[in-house]
Each structure stands twice: as C-alpha cells, then as structure tokens.
Amino acid sequence: MKDMISHGLDRRVAAGLLAVGGMMAVGASAPQPQSFSFALTNIYVAAYEDEKACRALSLSSSDLFLKSLPPAEREKYGAPDKVQDLHKLMGQRLGFKMVPTGKVSGPNGSMAQLSDAEQDALRQKYSIPKGKGIVAFLGTRFAYDSCTNPDDFPFMQKGNEEYRGPIAYGIDLDRLANKDDYVSLDQKPGVDNQLIRAVGCTFSTRDFGTPKVADEVITSMSSPTLVELSGVDHPANDDDVTVRLYASASPLELSGAGKPLAWASLDVDPDRRFMAQVKGKIRNGELLTEPFDLRLRLREQIIDSYREVRQARIQAKIKPGEAIEGGIYGYHTLASIEDNYHQSTQVGANLTRMSCPALIKAVRRYADAFPDPKTGRNTAISSALRFKGVPVFLIKPQQVAQGVQQ
Amino acid sequence: MSGPVISSRVLRALSAVTALCSIGAILMAASAGQADAPTQQQAQQPQVPKFRRLTEAQYRATIADIFGPDIKVSGRFEPDMRVGGLLAAGTSAVSLTPAGAEQYEQIARGIAEQVVDAKHRDRLVGCAPSASDPQGAACAADFFKRVGLRIYRRPLTDGEVKLAVAQTLAAAATVKDFHGGLVIMLTAMLSDLPFLFQTDREVADPSAPGGRTIDAWSRASKLSYFLWNSTPDEQLLQAAADGSLMTQAGLIRQVDRLMALPRFETGVRSFFDDFLQLEGMMSLSKDGIIYPAFRSSAAPAAREQTLRTITTLLVEENGDYRDLFTTRRVAMNRQLSPLYRIPYGPRDWSMITLPDQDPRVGLLTQISFLALHSHEGRSSPTLRGKALREVLMCEHVPTPPANVNFTIVQDTSNPAFRTTRERLKAHLDDEECASCHKLTDPMGLTLDSFDGAGQFRPTENGVPIDTTGMLDKVPFTDSAGLGKALHDNPKVTQCVAQSAWRYAAGRALLPSEEPLMASLHEDFAHAGFRIRPLFRRIVIDPQFFAVRAPAASRIAGKPSSGRKG
C-alpha cells in the first residue's frame, strides 16, 4: 500500500488545518496563519417572515391556465384533486413537450451534452417549433414549455404579486437611499433587494425561503459550493484574510443524524468558472469581504445551472470548527436567474406552483443594475442570498497528486 | 436460475442418506490410518480435539476457491463461539444443531444449483450424458472424484465415488434430470460433516517411531486454514498425495510456499480479525444524535482500517508487532477521515502518517478499538481497559456483580461529576467495585480523550480531560505513553504468540503446552517480534500436528527445520 504524506496534502497546509481543532481544543494561540474551509449546504433567496408583505400568493402557471378555460372546464379541473389532470390538459393544449434525448446524465449529476444537430433532430422528430426548447433534466430530456420559452406564453406573465413588506434581508449595496429600499432585520435602512420584491410572494419563497426552514434543507448536494478562508491569524479578528470559492467535485455526504457531514474531504472542481477569490476581514467573528464577481454552481436533481452575482459581498458569522452562516449580497444576473427557470421546466413550475413567464417578467422589470450598453436595460437585480455551511477539508487536484510514497 | 430446482422433500430424503454414510466414512477414515495402537504412555496423555467446524469466513473462502468467486453463498450460518477470546478456539467446541444442519443444507443447495446451472456447468461440471455414457455415470464419477477431493479435502474412496454416482443417478431418475441429480448429490456433500468440519485423522508418525500424528490430508487442511483461512490448493493437495507433507523438509517447502504467496496476508488478517474481535464492528451502532459522524459505513471501514494497517506493517513490511502500539501510520479512506478530522485526498485506501502533534498513536487510538469498547452514546474507560487486559494481554478481568449501581457513571450531564474520571471515582467508593476497576481504569482513562465513537475530545463538559494513567506500575501521561507501555510489556507479545497458537490449533491451550508457549515466545522475541517467523514457527512445531497433548515432562525445544522424513 502506498503511503501518503499527511493525507495527500502539503504538510504545512495539513498541519494548519489540524491546528484549528487543536487550537480550539486547548485555547493556545496559533503560531502561523490558519485556513478554514466550509461546504455550503444551501444557498437560497432569503425571505423575511411577514404575513402582511403579500396581498396574496402569486399565481402559478396552472392557475393562469385554469382561469383561461371556459367555465365548464374550469369547473371540471378546478378541484384540488384534479391538479394532475389540469397539468396534463395544459400540456396538451399549449403544446408542451418533454421528450427523451437518449442520453444519460453526465458524471456527478452534470448535464449531458447534445450538439445543435442532435437538438434540431429532436425538434423535427417531436414537432417542436424551430429554435425552441432546451436540453433539460441533465440532458436526458428535451423540453418545450412555459419555462423553457416563457415569451411564447404571454398570458402566463400575469398574476405575480409584489413583495410589499418593509423588511428584507440584504445590505445597502449602492450607498444610496432610494424609495424602494428595504430596512434590514436589524433596522438598518437602504437595503437593496429587488429580487425579493419580484419573487417574494411565490409559494416556494414564502414556504421554503425562511431560514428556519431553508437552513434545514440541503441543495446542490452533488456539487456544493466550497468556501475557503486562508491567511487567518486570528479567527475572531483579522483585517487581512483571503476568501476563495469553488464548486465541489464531490457530493456532500450525510451524517448518521441525516445532516450534512462535517469534516468530510471534498474535491475542488478544477472548473475555473466556479472559482473566485477576494480579500476580506474578520471582525468579532464576522467575515466581511470586498465586492467581487462570483459564479456558484447550482446542481440539484434535474438542474445543472449556476448563480451569478456581480459586486457580491459576503458577510458571515464564522465559528471555526463548527459552522459558517451568513449571506451573499450583490447583483444577481438575469441571465443566471432565467437559466434556473428554463431548466426547471414546466415540471418544476408545477411542483413549486410558480409561473416562469410571470417571474421572469417581474425580475426583468425590477432589475436595477448593470444596464446593457446597447439596450439600456438592466441585466442584474439586487439580491440577498443566505447560506449555512459545515466545516470540511478541501482537496485540490494538485494536492491529491502530491501524495508520495514514504 | 436456469439450473434444475429440486424439491426440498426429495433433497432432504436423499441427503440424509448420504450424510449418514459420510459420517460413517469419517469414522472409518479416522481409524483406518492407525497403523499401531498408541503406547500406554501415549494413551494416558489427553487427546486434542479432532474436529473443527469451518467458520463462516472459511466456508465462503472455500467455496470461492473450489467453484470460483462468482458462486454466491447465501444464508445464515450457525453462530461461532468464542473460547478464550478466539472464535477459532471455539471451532473445536461447537457442534451442528438440527436447525444449523438445515441452514447449511439450504446454503449448500443454493451453491449446488449455481454450480450446475447453464452459466457454470461447462466450466465446473465439464461433462454431460452422451451416447457412450447415456446415464452420465462416467461423467458423475469424474465430477465427484475431482470435486470431492476439494470438498472433503482428501480423495474419495472408491466406495464413496460409487455411492455418489449411484445416488446421483437415482436422484436423476427421480427428478428426470441428470443435472438435477448432480445438484442433489453435491448438496449432500456440501452439507456433510467432512466438508463442514476440518478433521484430524490419526496415523503413525513416520518421522518418530512409535509416535502418532495426523495424516497428510489433515495436515494440508490444517496448514491451509491457518495460513490462508481457506481450503488447500492443488499443490498442497499434491504434497499430501505424494507423502512429502509427512516429511519435515516437504512440510517446510509447502509452508514457505504458502507464506510467500499474497494469500498469506489473508491468513494473518483473519487471525487479527479474530484476535481483536473485530467482527463485533459489523453489528456496532452508535447514537446518531450524539455521534453524527459515525455513519453506518464507519464501523466496517474502521474494521478494515485496522486490518489493513496490521497487514501492511506486519506482512508487507515485516514489521515488529510491538510497533503497532506506537506507530503514527494508519490506513485511511474517506469514510473514516471525518472521524479523524483530517483531510484525505486519495479516492481509495492508503497508508498515511499522522502529524506529530496528532493525539493518536497506535492501534489503541484507532476507531475500531475505541468505538468497539464503548457504549452506544458514551465512552467507557472500563470497557477499554478490560479489552486491553483481556484481548491484548490475555488476562482475565472478573465480570461485575449483577447488583452494581451504574447510575453515577451513566449520567454524563451531572454537574457534580463532569468528567468520566470524576464519575468513576465516585463509583469506586464501593470497595468491591474498586478491586476490578483498578485493573482496567488506569489505562482506560488515558483513552478517554476519545469519545464513544473514537473521535478526539480534549475536554468533557468544558473540563480538560486528565489522561494520566498507569499500566503494571508504568506511569504515562497520554495515549502515546500508554502505547509505549504496551510496546514494552512482555505480556503483550506473550499474548499474541499464545493466541496465534490457539488460533492455529483451533482449541484452548492445554496446561502441558505452557513450556511450548515459552519457547514460542522466546523464538518470537529472537525474530524481532515479527509475525512471519511466529506463524512459521507454529506450523513446523511437531505439536501442531500432534494428536495428543505433550507429555508433562516434555521440554519444549525448537523444531528442527532440517529433519528428514
């Protein structure tokens, strides 16, 4: 059996990581900078619990379709136990398609690739309009519906409710006092979070976006986001730390209690699109980064997509050896939001009771940053994403290769 | 399954007949080799047990060796019995219950059906009825001669072959299928005592006039099951057939061959699995709320970790057994690294060296020992100390009286007693308890910086854990010191040597074998406490193949490696 020097890692790094536990254990000061790493178990659009913030829940695509039916049919399909039949009828009437591609999903829950020619062949074979539809369900299906092509179903753009509460998660991103700013949970004004205005009254945001629920959910399990803090002289106060973000090439594992497993060794995905680095500081145990652009992988069940946030700032409470919990505040690009909706397909829309056309229209409407130089339309929307994470060890490709026989 | 399926009723009726015949065959075989009657002095010496039931691991390995690893062995086995800390020593003390016989028969039937099914019969049966052999009698004879040698680990007698053929043809006529007949007869043989039990058949010792020993076939089995934990291979059977195994030179040739092959590692692995009682890991569970990192995969992985560490250090690297207690090297994988709180890069197992500042040193700080000898939701210095005394030092710790009040030790949230040491101290106010705890706790408390799942914890309820301890008047301050104390304690090496002997013999130690144990340990020490020389020393000792306990007056000497047969 081949021996690996200190677990296949550089000895200094490994010793530093191990020193975290040791230091916490005996309260001794660390002789050299340390590193802390975490896997984020859920990153979500955070919703503040305010029962009066929504006049009503936003209408789903099937609600809108039902409203479009003649009275007799509306009567027939309006009962809660007829929802499956309603979805089926909607698909038939509106020409939705969900056809097999003949592919299997890629490794570790990734999207299988289909060439343009293969996609055109599927369109032709299944009578999908030219240029329409997308590869979905990790490449195993080709779909055409109100989520893949929301502009084809304009009647479903109605019925979205605006979040009208005064309080929202987030920070003051633009240092300006605007009339549509919110107040933070700790009563700080100027919170920029137009994303919650656009999507804050959907069923899934109201029910699953509150931290007490969302923090118990694990998303992107097959490829969680990894956060690494390095150059930490003191875990509670340090004015100069480096923060790096990666996608994991290893799935998150569960503990015996069904929670995310701490201290697992997770491989860093070498895909540079999901890497970011920024300077930050730690004050009283809270990490604050400078603004930076980041892209996070979102790989969950049927989706292999991404979240892209420009001028993002991370603010998070750090408990070395225990947890990280905080937020990513910045401007979420419309392109990444719309890609999420596209990939969710009508199946996802039906399950989460949303209308992709209405949400995409709302997000475009409330977008408040990074105007396109040509069209003048904003391409990003202020947002607040919350996250929670467990301590892990990061294994970088070169570190695996560093293992040598003793 | 495309093979013939035989009704249980037919099978039972036929296999019962063959089983009875075979039992008779054993008895005949056991006495057939007796060239001379034992002398009066020999007759006064107690006989050693002649039969040892195959363990489940041996059964599975044997089937894989005879028929191939793709033959599935499904079913529940008769439970093994631990005697003197070893399951192997219990193999000569267990019998076959009626329920157990039925279970073995079901397992055998599953195997036999696979052997003759369409997928395997060309390779494993190799013949079928033909124009020149319309009933398949010649085919059956050929098959049972070939397979019978491997199953019974000795050649079938002509009478046994004839019986097997006759019963196969009779069964084939009943079920109207030749292969169905093979299934019935093969099931019977695999359910039969000569297969299920290793048998020592007594003969006159050709190298010691007037002496008694076991025959070459029995020697082959004994060697193979000790050194490989499986059935003899063809070369070993050939050495039995040509008689060379009855000579010291021929024996040594085979021993050296068996130990030079990679399968020797399996034999050493099996010994330590038994010696350290690691099969307990397979049914070990921990409270998922208290120890979330101890997942269902952790216990099997921890067992594997210990066995890989041992075989790497002792077999591959021919290391000193004592160093197991002081080494910082350990086999690791990603299932276990979270419990050790270390980063681990490789995708599979590999040996790592823990950093110098890591609190873990040696075998006792591996998850297997720490978690196995703990409670479901808390550590136990007493259980750990008891295991250390009993398993690693072959000492006996009395069981606690039935009326002990454990309330204080079990209440880990009592603010008055925040550490295990404090709770045990309070518990030891009872002098009757204290007398036994003195044997176990001074070492066990040193390991209390590892919780019930084997994870490091420098504090308990916010109080730093005092890891000072003592073993046989040797004081230490931490688990590294405990490891060093074990490394230097002669009881530890005496225990493993004596256990290896009992494991090899498949029985308890006989009082008259004490001098042999002393000699064994002396040679073990001279060989730098290396496992290979120890195992070799055991199998070339004449007592290994003896049919009686050594005479009380025997002065154990070193076996001659050059004795001519």
Q: In this model, does residue B470 exceed pLDDT 70?
A: yes
Chain B residues with beta carbon closer than 8 angstroms to that of A394: 343
- Minimum-distance CB partner of B357 among A2, A18, A402: A18
Q: What is the rounded distance in angstroms from the CA atom of residue A111 to the CA atom of residue B381?
A: 52
pLDDT on residue B467: 93
| Whether pLDDT at A322 is above 60 | yes
CA A262 to chain centre: 21
Please report the pLDDT score of residue B359 as a whole number.
Answer: 93
C-alpha span between A92 and A401 (Å, rounded): 54
Burial (CB < 10 A; 0-12, 13-18, 19+), residue A116, is exposed
Least CB-CB distance to A1: which of B308, B338, B458? B308
pLDDT over 90 at B67, yes or no: yes
- Using a CB–CB cutoff of 8 Å, tell me whether A107 touches chain B: no
B50 pLDDT tier (thresholds 50, 70, 90):
confident
**Interatomic CA distance for residues A258 and B288, integer angstroms:** 8
Q: What residue has token string 């609190």?
A: B359
Whole-number pLDDT of residue B9: 46
Instruction: Calculate what percentage of chain A has a pLDDT beyond 70.
Output: 90
* Mean pLDDT in residue range A343-355: 96
Predicted pLDDT of residue A15 = 33
Categorize the per-residue pLDDT at A221 as very low, low, confident or very high, splitting at 50, 70 and 90.
confident
* A227: CB partners within 8 A, 6+ apart: A37, A38, A39, A40, A243, A244, A245, A314, A324, A389
Model pLDDT, residue B415 = 78
Is the pLDDT at B554 greater than 50? The verdict is: no
Confidence grade of residue B205 (pLDDT, cut at 50, 70, 90): confident
- Under the banding of pLDDT at 50, 70 and 90, the label for residue B25 is very low
Closest-approach residue (CA) in chain B for A21: B341
* pLDDT for B45: 64
A400 at B interface, C-beta within 8 A: yes
Helices of type H across B391-447: 393, 407-410, 420-427, 431-444
Name chain A contacts of B288, Cβ cutoff 8 Å: 255-258
Please report the number of interchain residue pairs, chain A to chain B, with beta-carbon separation below 8 angstroms: 122
pLDDT at B234: 95
Q: Tokens 């295990």 label which residue? A: B420
Among B181-190, B195-204, B306-315, B407-416, whose mean pLDDT is lowest?
B407-416
Q: Residue A186 and residue B283: Cα distance in Å, rounded?
A: 51
What is the structure's pLDDT at B177?
A: 95
Q: What's the confidence (pLDDT) of residue A24?
A: 33
Task: Determine the average pLDDT of the residues in A374-390.
Answer: 97
> Is residue B122 a contact partner of residue B82, using CB atoms and an 8 Å limit?
no
Confidence of residue B421 (pLDDT cuts 50, 70, 90): confident
> Rounded to whole angstroms, how far apart are CA atoms B382 and B439?
9
- CA-CA-CA-CA torsion sign (B506, B507, B512, B518): positive
- Burial class of residue B403 (count of CB atoms within 10 Å of its CB; 0-12, 13-18, 19+): exposed
pLDDT at A400: 53
Q: List, in sequence order, every beta strand (DSSP E) within B7-165.
A: 51-53
Q: Which of A2, A17, A22 has its CB closest to that of B351?
A: A2
| A12 interfacial to chain B (CB closer than 8 Å) | no
Q: Give the model's pLDDT for residue B6.
A: 44
Q: Tell if the CB–CB gap between B338 and A261 is shorter than 8 Å.
A: yes
Query: Residue ranges of the domains in chain A?
Result: 5-51+160-401, 97-144
The one-letter code for the residue type at B526 is: H
What letter represents residue B125's amino acid?
V
Band of pLDDT at residue A171, cut at 50, 70 and 90: very high
Q: Is the pLDDT of residue A119 over 70?
A: yes
Q: Do B293 and A255 count as a contact with CB atoms less than 8 A apart?
A: yes
Angstrom CA distances, B419 to A191, B59, B369, B408, stand at 49, 46, 21, 11
User: How close B334 comes to chain A (CA, Å)?
Assistant: 7
- Write out the two tokens for B63: 């089937």
pLDDT, position A114: 95
Whether residue B197 contacts residue B51, with contact meaning beta carbons closer than 8 Å, is answered with yes
The pLDDT tens digits for A280-299 are 999 999 999 999 999 999 99
Q: Do B343 and A254 touch (CB under 8 A)?
A: no
- Token pair recorded at residue B391: 């398993």
Both structure tokens of B79: 């439970």
Q: Is A3 in contact with B353 (Cβ distance < 8 A)?
A: yes
Q: Name which of A393, A399, A405 to mutate to probe chain B: the one with the most chain B Cβ atoms within 10 A of its Cβ.
A: A393
Inter-residue contact B495 to B393 (CB < 8 Å): yes
Which pLDDT tens digit goes with each residue over B503-539?
A: 999 999 988 999 999 999 999 999 999 999 999 999 9
In a mutational test of the A interface, the residue from B296, B334, B367, B457 whose CB has the highest number of chain A CBs within 10 Å is B334
pLDDT band at A29 (very low <50, low <70, confident <90, very high): very low
End-to-end CA distance of chain B: give it in Å, rounded.
50
Q: Quick count: other Cβ atoms within 10 Å of Cβ B278?
A: 22
Neighbour tally for A109: CB within 10 Å = 18
Reply yes or no on whether the pLDDT at B5 is more than 70: no
A160 pLDDT exceeds 60?
Answer: yes
Task: Name the pairing type of β-strands B212-214 and B202-204.
Answer: antiparallel
Q: What is the DSSP letter of B45?
A: S
Residues of B whose CB is below 8 A from A5: 352-353
Give how far B176 is from chain A: nearest CA, Å: 47
Which residue numbers of B have CB closer than 8 Å to A's CBs? 286, 288-289, 291-296, 298, 308, 312, 316, 329, 331-332, 334, 337-339, 341-346, 349-355, 357-358, 456-459, 464
Tell me: the pLDDT tens digits for B317-336?
999 999 999 999 999 999 99
The pLDDT assigned to B39 comes to 57
A21 vs B: CB within 8 A: yes
Mean pLDDT of A237-249: 96
Which residues in chain B touch residue A253, judged by CB atoms under 8 angstroms apart?
295
Q: Minimum mean pLDDT among A143-152, A204-213, B441-450, B474-483: which range? A: A204-213
The complex's ipTM? 0.85
CA angle, A234 then A237 then A238, to 5° = 75
